[in-house]
Structure 1
Amino acid sequence: MAKQVQEAYIVAATRTPIGRSHRGFFRNMRPDDLLATTLKAALAAAPGLDPAAIEDIICGCAIPEAQQGLNVARIGAVLAGLPTSVGGITVNRFCASGLSAVQMAADRIRVGEAEVMIAAGVESMSMVPMMGNSPSLSPTIFEREGDVGIAYGMGLTAEKVAQQWKVSREAQDEFALQSHLKALAAQKAGYFADEITPIEVTDRTANLEIGESIATTRTVSLDEGARADTSLEGLAKLRTVFAARGSVTAGNSSQTSDGAGALILASESAVKRFGLTPLARFVSYAAKGVPPHIMGIGPIEAIPAALRYAGLKHQDIDWFELNEAFAAQSLAVMNTLGLDPAKVNPMGGAIALGHPLGATGAIRSATVVHALKRNKLKYGMVTMCVGMGQGAAGIFEAV
């Protein structure tokens, strides 16, 4: 017998601060511990919920190997002290892994197969390199011209987008500057406080004189990447890194990062049973494929599809979290779809805040549901391009 379709509500949404990879505050923190800390924080944000009611944890991770391998979702659940009855599955759609986790969790509830789910995302780019420790592509990819774009580095695909959509270096640098300025303003105003769970980190240094390791503990509560010294002059001096005569630089690209996010989703009956307070309703989701060599345009296809499934137009969306993989692709998406710049990343994006790959979708989902509530807005969207030629978009409604 078919189960009754029901709504899926977000009742808790939290994330870690985002640290710079390799030199940032999470460089020595294992991603499974980072995930576990975030899961515990999400549960603390939903008092009254019986953890035993959680059906499953779906966790996005773009490079699920090494310290974040072996099904990090299940390991995170165990480390967080959740009941052994709570399952865990790790999913990978590269940069949209965390958003896909939210969609999958919502769908389990919407088709009546679960009452409470956790969607999460985690990535340590400090411990696991982009593309993994031993990437291996099928040689057949290089035999067909249309497929070789799968092997392109992400920066090269951004150069292709900049060329085809005629996005200038100056426009990219200006976009990057605005990302930092908006992020710094939002931090100063305290807007991230609702979504960020402060994390305690321990740094160790060697004292060679006494032959001991000195441990110092500090609490981090803000994203590490936003830079007050960013300027157009400084950005203009940066050399291109992906093409000799290109326009994409480290300054107008997203930062490699470490971080995690988690959302608890519940059905209406579970909301009533446990006395939970919904933040938002999950409305719709779409994932679409695009040519791999211009993967950055993925949202151009995914956004209209998600809007169509929801019966909405892009003018109905009050807040867009458009992941800034590169300024070039962000501008190409915005210009092609006619998105209102004032509604796109009002608190900055990945160029300033960082992009911990598989965690970003969950992190930006936490951002948008809290932003809708804080600003008394109705609809928000999270969208991103995806490596190897995809785009994804999810819509949330404040309740």
Structure 2
Amino acid sequence: MKTANNQVYILGSSRIPFAKSQTVYADVTRKELMVAALNGLIRKNNLQGKFIGDTALGCLMNSSADWNLARECVLETELDPNSPAYNTQRACATSLDNIWQIAMKIHTGAIELGIAGGVDTNSDFPIEVSDKFRKFLMNMNNAKTFGARMKALSGASIGMFKPRAASVTEPRTLMSMGQHCELMAKEWKIAREDQDQVALASHLNGAKAYDAGFYDDLVIPFHGITRDATLRADTNIQKLAKLKPSFDPVAGTLTAGNSSPLTDGAATVLLGTESAAQKLGLFPMAKVIDVQAAAVDFVHGAGLLMAPTKAVSQLLTRNELTFKDFDYFEIHEAFAAQVLCNLKAWESPEYCKNVLGLKAPIGSIDRSKMNVVGSSIAMGHPFAATGARVTGTLAKLLAGGGKKRGLVSICTAGGMGVAAILESV
């Protein structure tokens, strides 16, 4: 079998503004959000009528009615309808994992061009019926005689009509991600004030970047808004300090202000070879170097959102790099406490030895290089879209000139984490 060894490039990125759930996009479907982000990418990069080798799109809060969501979204765009597409899901790292899948297909020569992305919306939330009501409907559907229908009807009750909403709790602990992160914050002794400072920096950096025009070609106007509706340019440390704990009302430190909000949105990234870029008249923004996924046993003591420490450690070891070799760090802010726990773990000799198997701590990240244009607390976190947002942002930062390398780190539900390395062209 002949296998290529292509270098893979980020050629473009496009997303719609993110918005707090049940607000701006309250009446917009997940498909409409995803198609809008795709169309932005297509028009920006002159892909109308072009064949795309493959498209990987993800959605956590998907519905069985959208079982072929990715392909249906592609068919709604101006791409060549012969372009295939498929659905994926790896919790909050879904679209980063999609980027890696598409990159590997390009690397091996299976395709020349590919799109990775994701969408999530808690406004177009899939609601399931109860198990009892589902069985009742199936029995009624299968009943062929009057007697069979009457027998099925005899099993009906008022309680069975209560809908069952999709849960965001961990099935093995029955705890939410915020509750798990509260445990991490206590274990690592993360102060409330430090969390609020991370949140404040996210908002101020994001607002400054928007004002400077950084996002002008990354975020396309949609549904009447032009920037992320969760961004608070006017917040300050005093306002953040007044917010009450969200997950532990007695001794908690996580609040609505230092946690990412439930968000609606979609994001995309275009990947390809150098020859594909030349054919399209595009200039590569950054090179995809490596990606790593990892997991922790959070049921038996590990912090639910600590897996990025392992993913990053494995990436650095394999590529013989240290934190000093990076110019930018895009650390997904599910919660400010989660970011600070990860940073503290990398600095801990005991943790790095016992958990990561290292002889010495990885070290400290230069905080002036972290999330320099805002991150999930300020921009929002539509679960499956965040990886594409972060990667597109980092690619543009590296394309700005003078900088050579960036690191992405994303924590996910289920005790997983995914990290990636990009380099300038």
Shorter chain as normaliser: what TM range? 0.7 to 0.9
Give yes or no for contact 1:194–1:370 (8 Å, CA) kept in 2: no
Match of 2:177 among 132, 135, 154: 154
Partner of 1:100: 97
Give yes or no for contact 1:254–1:355 (8 Å, CA) kept in 2: yes
Q: In structure 1, what is the Cα distance between the partners aligned to 2:33 and 2:112?
A: 26
Identity %: 33
What's the offset of the Cα at 1:155?
Answer: 0.5
What's the offset of the Cα at 1:307?
Answer: 2.7
Amino acid at match of 1:124: T
Partner of 1:184: 207
After TM superposition, the structure 1 = structure 2 runs for residues 5-154 of structure 1, keeping only pairs within 5 Å, are 5-23=5-23, 25-47=24-46, 49=47, 51-65=49-63, 69-128=66-125, 134-135=165-166, 148-149=172-173, 151-154=174-177
Q: How many residue pairs get matched?
A: 370
Taking a change above 3 Å as real, the CA distance of residues 264 and 128 of structure 1, as seen in their structure-2 partners, is: same
What's the offset of the Cα at 1:52?
Answer: 4.1
Give yes or no for contact 1:285–1:309 (8 Å, CA) kept in 2: no
What's the offset of the Cα at 1:268?
Answer: 2.6
2:322 maps to 1:313: yes
Q: In structure 1, what is the Cα distance between the partners aligned to 2:168 and 2:368?
A: 40
Secondary structure of 1:296's aligned partner: coil
Higher fraction of strand: 1
Secondary structure of 2:419's aligned partner: strand
Partner of 2:262: 256
Give yes or no for contact 1:121–1:363 (8 Å, CA) kept in 2: no
Q: TM-score if structure 1 supplies the norm length?
A: 0.87
Taking a change above 3 Å as real, the CA distance of residues 130 and 242 of structure 1, as seen in their structure-2 partners, is: farther
Partner of 1:232: 237
Amino acid at match of 1:26: Y
What's the offset of the Cα at 1:342?
Answer: 0.8
What's the offset of the Cα at 1:59?
Answer: 0.7
What's the offset of the Cα at 1:54?
Answer: 0.9
Amino acid at match of 2:30: P
What's the offset of the Cα at 1:254?
Answer: 0.5
Q: Is 29-38 or 228-237 further displaced after alignment?
A: 228-237
Give yes or no for contact 1:179–1:349 (8 Å, CA) kept in 2: yes
Give yes or no for contact 1:72–1:90 (8 Å, CA) kept in 2: yes
Give yes or no for contact 1:279–1:398 (8 Å, CA) kept in 2: yes
What's the offset of the Cα at 1:397?
Answer: 1.3
2:358 maps to 1:361: no
Q: In structure 2, what is the Cα distance between the partners aligned to 1:328 and 1:27?
A: 29
2:286 maps to 1:267: no
What's the offset of the Cα at 1:186?
Answer: 1.7
Partner of 1:280: 286
C-alpha distance after superposition, 1:84-129 (max 9, x if no partner): 2111111101100010111110011111111111111111122227
2:414 maps to 1:388: yes
After TM superposition, the structure 1 = structure 2 runs for residues 185-200 of structure 1, keeping only pairs within 5 Å, are 185-199=208-222
Amino acid at match of 1:198: P
C-alpha distance after superposition, 1:60-102 (max 9, x if no partner): 22222267x3232111101113222111111101100010111
Taking a change above 3 Å as real, the CA distance of residues 8 and 137 of structure 1, as seen in their structure-2 partners, is: closer
Secondary structure of 2:53's aligned partner: strand
Q: In structure 1, what is the Cα distance between the partners aligned to 2:208 and 2:402?
A: 19
What's the offset of the Cα at 1:269?
Answer: 2.9
Q: In structure 2, what is the Cα distance between the partners aligned to 1:295 and 1:59?
A: 25
Q: In structure 2, what is the Cα distance between the partners aligned to 1:366 and 1:136?
A: 29
**Structure of greater Rg:** 2
Taking a change above 3 Å as real, the CA distance of residues 274 and 173 of structure 1, as seen in their structure-2 partners, is: closer
Q: In structure 1, what is the Cα distance between the partners aligned to 2:115 and 2:261?
A: 27
Secondary structure of 1:255's aligned partner: coil
Partner of 1:212: none
Taking a change above 3 Å as real, the CA distance of residues 6 and 133 of structure 1, as seen in their structure-2 partners, is: farther
Taking a change above 3 Å as real, the CA distance of residues 32 and 126 of structure 1, as seen in their structure-2 partners, is: same
Give yes or no for contact 1:323–1:349 (8 Å, CA) kept in 2: yes
Taking a change above 3 Å as real, the CA distance of residues 36 and 30 of structure 1, as seen in their structure-2 partners, is: same
Q: In structure 1, what is the Cα distance between the partners aligned to 2:320 and 2:40?
A: 34
Q: TM-score if structure 2 supplies the norm length?
A: 0.81
Match of 1:323 among 329, 332, 335: 332
Secondary structure of 1:54's aligned partner: coil
Amino acid at match of 2:69: V
Q: In structure 2, what is the Cα distance between the partners aligned to 1:386 and 1:333?
A: 13
Amino acid at match of 1:235: L
Amino acid at match of 2:187: Q
Q: In structure 1, what is the Cα distance between the partners aligned to 2:402 and 2:229?
A: 28
Amino acid at match of 2:26: R
Secondary structure of 2:45's aligned partner: coil
